[in-house]
Chains A and B, each alone.
Chain A
């Protein structure tokens, strides 16, 4: 039955390929456009539309994942020639295992966050739903595109939507954090443009696959300029990936954002990681001649400094949402440092660690919101956290019927789950286990995979005599140490929130709020249980990343569809108008 279903899905997907690659971008775009036409009063309809579209997006992403992973001659690469132009001339969308995995991860986190937002947060301001969908569109586009300038455009779509989402709910802390967030991202966009245009000036192409082909052939005199361009471009991505010292914007912004937005933003740092992983393995692979593995040490050093910063920040955090923000930085640093080694097995480990840590951090953002509300009698901020009267959640701002977000009023709408406190406690415990990397959950499996790859770079049993170098040992030690620090910080927070004596009533949750957290954490547990197939998948992904020939060939050799109206007439000379 299960195998039959899989076969059916594969058949349907194959029939729709390569056009299905466009769906993760087109679906949110159309949904958002439709929702813009609806009046602001129709929040419920928009919510339903948003959920449906995100769920459909998840199905599409899963189908693409299955398709990319099927054993066969396609080598897991799908190429969509937008506007039917041959590769280096037109914009190309390319799907491989890595992009499919990121798409599924995006849809999962997005679905959890929109369900959570449906309980109350989506009413805290206007245009939440269209912005949410545009954000998904930007994310999907960034994961799918195979063209550098197109990547810039999708980055800007993603960022523009994220500015709006960050400001959702308004209030002074959000506007203040938003101001910094926008300023740093505009500066990063300038760097992005400089890097992209320099790469074009040197190589004459912006297609990633074509760039990878051209870079080994760049003249020796231009090599320094090429590396400068790559470094400037990488700086733009490293700002997104929150590498130290370019990450001071992250914690204020992510913790000021409403909880579902914070959970969605847990993905945004991963976009930076994804682009670095994608471009670095493609452009500076071991086959890139004189530029092979350029910048490897920088990535490792930057990643390790970020790890240390994140772990110390977690120790110093007083608020749970700050803790979650620093946890995002820690996971980002771990991924970057591991990626910098450019080592097959290590990449496979980090690709396992990536989804599990993203899911856990997203769940922590959601849980933190509920715990804060519980602690502060229904408000997200304790009275002492509000310097002056923030208009956020002001009743005047959102005159929606049935809205009850005020701290003074007693009962929040919804059914009381008797086990609410237990759910919050358990959720926090699972988040702690995954983020700190303790057994038995997926954080541990991911860390062990990476640590084992550091010690046995050629695989278990065949690495006798090889020693990890200085950076390897440093990363090994840091991974263990940051795990310990994260554990201390999270345990301390857990004791303060769950074990300390207090005279609070039991937390009141709605099912819509408990469900997404439980689902995200269940996914972490599922990742643990299914560790073997998932690791096989990430290993295949890492293999493909480190032998970019497949990607380059698939993109460069994709054939445009022949014009059906003029058969055999395609080569006819065109008259200039």
Chain B
């Protein structure tokens, strides 16, 4: 399980960073989204006592109440907050992206009509 998660985080982060460095605004926003998914998965993996595999997420009668038998609730709380904030920020970025596209007529991140960027119709 660990290796699957590690590969997922690695691939998401790698693609995210690569997209973040691209010159188009849409690529940048996709990069930021992928990066935030990677971070959210990463937060999950940072629970105490490692990854919670086959552990109860919610209190259940008859299960001893310690971290050895339950998933660490802390990363879940952190991830929930991070997802909400990340979602709001992505939405806001999308609006600015559209404004930039409308004002400059190009989807280049610098809004310049650089030679290597094709003009949008």
List of B residues within 8 angstroms of A175 by Cβ: 96, 99-100, 103, 111
The chain A residue with its CB closest to the CB of B81 is A153
A197 beta carbon closer than 8 Å to chain B: yes
A373 beta carbon closer than 8 Å to chain B: no
List of B residues within 8 angstroms of A190 by Cβ: 32, 35-36, 38-39
A182 beta carbon closer than 8 Å to chain B: yes
* Interface positions of B from 56 to 95, Cβ below 8 Å from A: 59, 61, 74-75, 78, 81-82, 85-86, 88-90, 92-93
B110 beta carbon closer than 8 Å to chain A: yes
B48 beta carbon closer than 8 Å to chain A: yes
Whether A200 contacts B36 in the complex (CB less than 8 A), given A163-B96, A182-B92, A183-B28, comes out as no
Kindly state the separation between the CA atoms of A204 and B72 in the bound complex, as whole angstroms.
10
Whether A178 contacts B96 in the complex (CB less than 8 A), given A194-B39, A200-B46, comes out as yes
B109 beta carbon closer than 8 Å to chain A: yes
Chain B positions 32 through 45: 1 when the CB is less than 8 Å from some CB of chain A, otherwise 0: 10011011001101
Cross-chain contact of B85 among A153, A163, A206, A391 (Cβ < 8 A): A153
A242 beta carbon closer than 8 Å to chain B: no
List of A residues within 8 angstroms of B42 by Cβ: 193-194, 197
List of A residues within 8 angstroms of B110 by Cβ: 176
List of B residues within 8 angstroms of A198 by Cβ: 46
The chain A residue with its CB closest to the CB of B111 is A176
Say yes or no: B89 contacts A149, CB within 8 Å.
no
Task: Tell me what chain A mostly uses at the interface: helix, strand, loop, or mixed.
Answer: helix
Kindly state the separation between the CA atoms of A379 and B1 in the bound complex, as whole angstroms.
62
Say yes or no: A179 contacts B75, CB within 8 Å.
no
The chain A residue with its CB closest to the CB of B67 is A204
Kindly state the separation between the CA atoms of A372 and B103 in the bound complex, as whole angstroms.
24
List of B residues within 8 angstroms of A176 by Cβ: 100, 104, 110-111
A10 beta carbon closer than 8 Å to chain B: no
A187 beta carbon closer than 8 Å to chain B: yes
A576 beta carbon closer than 8 Å to chain B: yes
Say yes or no: A200 contacts B75, CB within 8 Å.
yes
The chain A residue with its CB closest to the CB of B103 is A172
The chain A residue with its CB closest to the CB of B88 is A160
List of A residues within 8 angstroms of B48 by Cβ: 200-201, 204
Task: Tell me what chain B mostly uses at the interface: helix, strand, loop, or mixed.
Answer: helix
Whether A183 contacts B104 in the complex (CB less than 8 A), given A201-B48, A204-B48, comes out as no
Chain A positions 170 through 192: 1 when the CB is less than 8 Å from some CB of chain B, otherwise 0: 11100110111011001101100
Say yes or no: A156 contacts B85, CB within 8 Å.
yes
> Interface size class for chain A?
20 to 34
Kindly state the separation between the CA atoms of A198 and B97 in the bound complex, as whole angstroms.
32
**What is the minimal beta-carbon distance from B42 to any residue of chain A, in angstroms?**
6
* Interface positions of A from 288 to 311, Cβ below 8 Å from B: none
Say yes or no: B92 contacts A160, CB within 8 Å.
yes
List of B residues within 8 angstroms of A186 by Cβ: 32, 36, 86, 89-90, 93
**What is the minimal beta-carbon distance from A180 to any residue of chain B, in angstroms?**
7
List of A residues within 8 angstroms of B86 by Cβ: 186, 189
Say yes or no: A200 contacts B78, CB within 8 Å.
yes
**What is the minimal beta-carbon distance from B15 to any residue of chain A, in angstroms?**
14
List of A residues within 8 angstroms of B81 by Cβ: 149, 152-153
Say yes or no: B96 contacts A167, CB within 8 Å.
yes
Among A187, A196, A201, which residue has the most Cβ atoms of chain B within 10 A?
Answer: A201
Kindly state the separation between the CA atoms of A153 and B84 in the bound complex, as whole angstroms.
11
Say yes or no: B89 contacts A197, CB within 8 Å.
no
Among B20, B48, B85, which residue has the most Cβ atoms of chain A within 10 A?
Answer: B85
List of A residues within 8 angstroms of B36 by Cβ: 186, 190
With contacts A183-B93, A187-B20, A193-B39 known, what are 6 further pairs, Cβ within 8 A?
A175-B99, A175-B100, A179-B97, A183-B28, A190-B35, A201-B46
Measured CB to CB, the residues of A under 8 A from B are 149, 152-153, 156, 160, 163, 167, 170-172, 175-176, 178-180, 182-183, 186-187, 189-190, 193-194, 196-198, 200-201, 204, 206, 390-391, 576
Provide 30 A-B residue pairs closer than 8 Å at the C-beta atoms, listed in order of the A residue: A149-B78, A149-B81, A160-B88, A163-B96, A172-B104, A175-B96, A175-B100, A176-B100, A178-B96, A179-B100, A180-B109, A182-B92, A182-B96, A183-B20, A183-B93, A183-B109, A187-B35, A190-B36, A193-B39, A197-B42, A197-B43, A197-B46, A198-B46, A200-B48, A201-B45, A201-B47, A201-B48, A204-B48, A390-B103, A391-B103
10 closest A-B pairs by CB: A201-B46, A197-B46, A197-B43, A172-B103, A176-B111, A190-B39, A175-B99, A156-B85, A175-B100, A193-B39
